[in-house]
Amino acid sequence: MRRKPVNALTLSLLVVAALGALCPPVYADPYTISWIPSVDGGWEVPANWNPAREPLPTDDALISPSPSTPRKVTVTQTHTVGSIDAARKIEINTGGNLTTGNLTLRYKDGIVANAGVFTATGTVLADGCDLYAPGGTINVNTLSAYQGAAGQSAGLRASLGGTLNLTGLTTATAPAGSRLSIVATGGTINLPNLTTLVPNGGSFTLSANNSGTLQIPKLTSMDSTTLAIGAATIDTAQLKTFTNGSLFAAVGATPDLSGLTSVDGSALAANSGAKISVPNVTTYQAAVVQVGFPTDFSARTAGSLVELAGLTSISAPTGAQHLIYGFDSGVVKLPALNTIHADAPGGVWVFAQPNGRVELTLGTLSLTNANIFLTSTGTITAGTIDLGAGALWTGTGTLTANLVNTAGTVGPDDPVTPGLGRPLALTGSFAQLAGGTLQITMEPTAFDSLTVAGDAALGGTLSVVLDPLYDLPASGSFEIMDIAGQRTGFFDGLPQGARVLTDNNGVSLYINYSGGDGNDVLLSTVPEPGTWAMLGGLGVVFALYGWRRHRRTR
């Protein structure tokens, strides 16, 4: 049978069809490939894309939000695309290497490089989204500005040996209510050109620990920032100002802070053997308390140190509170400090609690509305401390200093040991001027006392407060001052033997300046013999006076 010849048109169609079956189409122009995860989250699965093929180097990959799961795209091979617009997390896993030109991120979790590499070479928009390298590498060197999301947290993070390279980033902004974190925990973050942090109503956290590295060599100013430094490498020598923030150093860290000239409103806290030394700050102003958290200079645990060698004055406006404390063998040193002034009572507290130590000036430190608190194992050292208006000294420990009570109060009830007798002690001398008050609280089981190793010059007010549940004994004696040196003067209005008070049962307390070894101050419910003689003499005088008046009227 004779076959009909195939005409040219039919043959051409057959050839094209055969070639089409053997060779996939080549898309030379940019083409948008949309993410439709119908199988799993794999980038390499054609069925997850529309049209059903992997994006090509000239394609724009559009990863829209979808209620379907999984809600992330995983990459395990090498790919290059023209651009990525992603509203889902992109995760680079072992073997993955994804490169894009332009990059727009719309999902908070952003890019995570677990073990592979992600690179963006074009225009990048990543505001409010995370860039996280827990073991992998992220290269986004064309990103120049990064901003957090209002009311949310976002961050740049590297851990587990991962690396985050943002060599073009110059400015980071934290809008209202946001916290923007830059954290290197065992990883490396390279920000060689970052110059500006803008806390536009938000705040920052910068942290390097666990052998991590945070490179910020051009960042000279931080405000509203928490800077946490552990066993890691971080650029700090270039810092000039660190204000309204918190600087935490731990695990033996010794950051170079020699360039700082202002730390106003900031907390400086050393822990676990870390040392914070700020030699060139001369004045400090505390910040108004935010959400109940005061600022502080604090050192906790043995080997921990906070030292401001050049600091001469501390001030606290109304609403501010600043704490200075050594705790659990930590040491705070302020060797040049001569003035602490708060606008409201309790604006500044100097604490030394279990085995903690605070070393102040060897000269004179003047306090206004500032408080000193010691426990029995805490240590505070100074040359002379002058308690001005609103200042007080309380607690249960020994103050290694001379004390001049110009207009403050010694020994009032305190917030840490309310209702307990407070045995205060001085290693130096004690002088109380006309405006000062020594307050002695007497309770059923204890009473306040003051031991002075040096001389004591008395004046001002003695205020004795009886606990409402305490009745004075009919015969009792209470040594309220043990003076090793010489005593001069009397409390105002209270000469030797004067009655100090009478309780609700009619029992009175009398003062005796010659108790103990002859110059200690006692309060007794039975007047001293000299007092009885004086009272008896007065009785005779009054009797004679009455007899003479009686004779004149006859």
Q: Give the pLDDT confidence score for residue 529 in this predicted structure.
A: 61
- Strand, helix or coil at 235? coil
Work out the number of other CB atoms within 10 angstroms of the CB of residue 292: 6
Work out the number of other CB atoms within 10 angstroms of the CB of residue 273: 17
Q: Give the pLDDT confidence score for residue 474 in this predicted structure.
A: 87
Between the alpha carbon of residue 445 and those of residues 413, 441, 469, the distances in Å are 15, 11, 11
Q: Give the pLDDT confidence score for residue 444 in this predicted structure.
A: 84
Q: Give the pLDDT confidence score for residue 22 in this predicted structure.
A: 45
CB 172 within 8 A of CB 149: no
**Which of 257, 251, 304, 249 shows the shortest CA–CA distance to 277?**
257
CB 82 within 8 A of CB 53: no
- The b/e string for 370-402 (b: 16+ C-beta within 10 A; e otherwise) is bbbbbbeebbbbbebbbbbebbbbbbbbbbbbb
**Which of 151, 249, 127, 239 shows the shortest CA–CA distance to 203?**
151
Is the torsion defined by CA of 481, 482, 484, 487 positive or negative?
positive
Work out whether strand 32-35 and strand 49-50 pair parallel, antiparallel, or are unpaired.
antiparallel
Give CA–CA dist 185/92, Å, rounded. 19
Place of tokens 């205060």: 424
Q: Which two tokens stand for residue 347?
A: 């604006």
pTM (2 d.p.): 0.87
Chain segment 243-289, per-residue pLDDT in tens:
999 999 999 999 999 999 999 999 999 999 999 999 999 999 999 87
Domain spans of the chain, in order of start:
360-554
User: What phi, psi does 16 have (nearest 5°)?
Assistant: -65, -40
**Which of 235, 237, 176, 172 shows the shortest CA–CA distance to 205?**
172
In sequence order, what DSSP letters do the residues of 169-234 get, joined into one string? --EEE--TT-EEEEEEEBSEEE-TT--EEE-SS-EEEEEEETT-EEE-TT--EEESEEEEE-SSEE
Residues in the chain with pLDDT < 70? 1-30, 39, 66-70, 290-293, 413-421, 528-554
